Structure 1
């Protein structure tokens, strides 16, 4: 089967959630089908290292350069579109897709996230799949509660409306919509009645994230793209409202914060006792090895948190808010601890740091769940079954 795969940026390096998912889905499809990748990339990076990372399993790779200044201009010129979609408006991409689908006769067009899914209307293929991943409009709605000012609330409300409108349109355009969480599937199904929408969760590379020994240190770990609002808000909330209570009980406790592009308000956290802002690292595993507990103090967002799956795979006990672990097939108290207010979160962290046996119990159950449900090999097989069944249906 011939598949045209669309991404908003090269799916490499694997340093943020969208890239991670796009890379593994692309690789899974390429294992049994002929896949062509069309992607945006920064000007001058058309032949960057990312291309070599995907060229080995793609039939062809077509990069379309798109710079930050053009993206900003697009947003200003196209106010009727959601920001992420407007930023990636490109006549060059439209022209490329029209040409490829006319010349190559693809069986399937597969678009990753809403910011690329609207390009499916320019793909003359037998079937169209939109991997929306999560409901961005729901993300915006939840984020409104934490908006710092009324202009931010007004903009957020307008953006939520625009996103929901286009999510519905894409669902009607696509023959199949994929999302990572049952919560998001249910939400979109209410908006787009009768459309084929199903769950395809995120996964974790079990060969890369292998079980690590628990060194028993009073070290906590948080990681993620720190410019991403839920991560920035979550780690600020944890450091200001939760970690001081942990330090009262365990004065030697340390927190490692790993991630790229930290905004100024996150940078200031490095001044707090016991907090170490590590920044970007090419390999998370040495920091997982140091930590005894992973914390996921997220207060808004949607979809599935890759950081929880990575912690499970590495055998690390996790404390999360209920929203932080939303969408995962987990049982609180068996796979991880769940707490939503600062005192309960701090108590759960302290109890785990003091109990090696409890950490080992959660770690064993988390790893087993990752192996059985959230490994990329199984998710890849599920994806291939879905697209073959779709193309074989009338």
Structure 2
């Protein structure tokens, strides 16, 4: 096999628009791989828009692609039924049969996928083509932390059981697994038994996210960014407002909080803005100026897993960040060097107030954070690590 690898990529949806989370990871890793190898995407959900007609990768959608995509392949006869856990993760016999035929026709050297919910498809695909599944965050770790935070419901318990069954049944059938942090990697190894699980950190586009002196700082401005349809981000904002905001406002009446993130419900907007001096903007296509206008970026996470892109982006912009220990987990960071870390409401409020009152400290932490992402969190490095994982599953006589 030549050094150029023929890669089949399996995704639920193509990452458009590219804003955060899983889509951000998929977009940058595929961009890097496509620049060096033969890459084609196979899309399991048929929700797509006209913007995909000029997507940078060739792709095929189930059951049929939009104009500009390659023709759909003829599906093999679907299996009669799938296990309950596969149905729980929205797997269907028809899509499995279509994917099996599509991959067989394409004849790739390796199959890669993104997202924990693809575990049943990867476990059920037949054949000897090596499979690499990037689960990104450990769903097991995320759910367990969410339940421990007091959110125990029948739905969450059911989801945790399904995640454990999927880990035991399907993840061992992958040749390699990938997560975004060493903590997530250790958790997946423990529950799945698959020792071929590796860490590929998220990156940040440091050319796009750059410090700028042209944006004027707003005194007392604090900012939180993140997808607001994601429960850990909702929990973080609610925790900060319930437990920290009154104390901060008492000592800094000019303090204001801006919350930015997509898919916000109006109920949340109303609830949060009742606290006073809180502006919930929702989604914006470009968050850079909003972050640069703030004096402090916050990451008060109390649930969730993985690496927080909000911290990486703030660092890249030269912003000072106050994080909880959970938000800082998995990051190469040091308290007082490139970040301030606090856990209790009083300690967290104290650190935010400290930054609001000390421009020199903000500048020092922001500059150190910028250097940290330049040294450790480039997408170029992430792509190189991901490619190493891919090559590790290929036959020894191959690439």
The reply to whether TM is greater than 0.5 is yes
* Structure 2 counterpart of 1:368: 371
Q: 2:172, 2:194 within 8 Å by CA — same for their partners in 1?
A: no
1:157 Cα deviation (Å)? 2.3
Against the structure 1 CA distance between its residues 194 and 386, is the aligned structure 2 distance closer, same or farther, given a 3 Å change threshold?
closer
Structural mapping, 1:73-112, within 5 Å: 80-81=84-85, 86-112=88-114
Structural mapping, 1:1-394, within 5 Å: 1-41=5-45, 43=47, 45=48, 47-52=49-54, 55-56=55-56, 58=57, 60-64=58-62, 80-81=84-85, 86-120=88-122, 121-122=124-125, 124=127, 126-147=129-150, 152-193=152-193, 195-213=195-213, 215-216=216-217, 217-263=219-265, 264-393=267-396
Spell out, residue by residue over 1:303-359, the C-alpha distance to the aligned partner (whole angstroms, 9 max, x if none). 111101000101110001000111111112111101111111111001001111111
1:41 Cα deviation (Å)? 4.1
1:9 Cα deviation (Å)? 1.8
Matched length: 373
Matched position secondary structure for 1:324 = helix
Against the structure 1 CA distance between its residues 51 and 271, is the aligned structure 2 distance closer, same or farther, given a 3 Å change threshold?
farther
CA RMSD of aligned residues (A): 2.2
Q: 1:218, 1:254 within 8 Å by CA — same for their partners in 2?
A: yes
Q: 1:6, 1:111 within 8 Å by CA — same for their partners in 2?
A: yes
What's the TM-score, normalizing by structure 2? 0.88
Aligned partners of 1:170 and 1:51: how far apart in 2?
Answer: 33
Q: 1:232, 1:266 within 8 Å by CA — same for their partners in 2?
A: no
Against the structure 1 CA distance between its residues 204 and 65, is the aligned structure 2 distance closer, same or farther, given a 3 Å change threshold?
farther
Structure 1 or 2: more helix by fraction: 1
| Unpaired segments ≥5 residues, structure 2 | 65-80
Against the structure 1 CA distance between its residues 343 and 158, is the aligned structure 2 distance closer, same or farther, given a 3 Å change threshold?
same
Aligned partners of 1:133 and 1:197: how far apart in 2?
Answer: 11
Matched position secondary structure for 1:172 = helix
1:158 Cα deviation (Å)? 2.9
Aligned partners of 1:269 and 1:78: how far apart in 2?
Answer: 43
Aligned partners of 1:392 and 1:367: how far apart in 2?
Answer: 40
After the TM superposition, list the runs of 4 or more consecutive aligned residues in structure 1 that deviate by more than 3 angstroms. Answer: 40-43, 77-80, 213-216
Aligned partners of 2:313 and 2:378: how far apart in 1?
Answer: 10
* Structure 1 counterpart of 2:76: none
Q: 2:119, 2:166 within 8 Å by CA — same for their partners in 1?
A: no
Q: 1:138, 1:160 within 8 Å by CA — same for their partners in 2?
A: no
Aligned partners of 1:274 and 1:42: how far apart in 2?
Answer: 42
Aligned partners of 2:222 and 2:63: how far apart in 1?
Answer: 40
1:238 Cα deviation (Å)? 0.8
What's the TM-score, normalizing by structure 1? 0.89
1:87 Cα deviation (Å)? 5.0
Spell out, residue by residue over 1:99-145, the C-alpha distance to the aligned partner (whole angstroms, 9 max, x if none). 22221211110010111232123263521001011210111111113
Spell out, residue by residue over 1:178-210, the C-alpha distance to the aligned partner (whole angstroms, 9 max, x if none). 011111111222223352111001111111111
1:16 Cα deviation (Å)? 2.9
1:93 Cα deviation (Å)? 2.6
1:78 Cα deviation (Å)? 8.8
Aligned partners of 2:99 and 2:45: how far apart in 1?
Answer: 16
* Structure 1 counterpart of 2:71: none
Against the structure 1 CA distance between its residues 287 and 40, is the aligned structure 2 distance closer, same or farther, given a 3 Å change threshold?
farther
Aligned partners of 1:278 and 1:157: how far apart in 2?
Answer: 33
Aligned partners of 2:181 and 2:132: how far apart in 1?
Answer: 17
Q: 2:189, 2:195 within 8 Å by CA — same for their partners in 1?
A: yes
Against the structure 1 CA distance between its residues 278 and 123, is the aligned structure 2 distance closer, same or farther, given a 3 Å change threshold?
farther
Matched position secondary structure for 1:188 = helix
Q: 1:137, 1:161 within 8 Å by CA — same for their partners in 2?
A: no
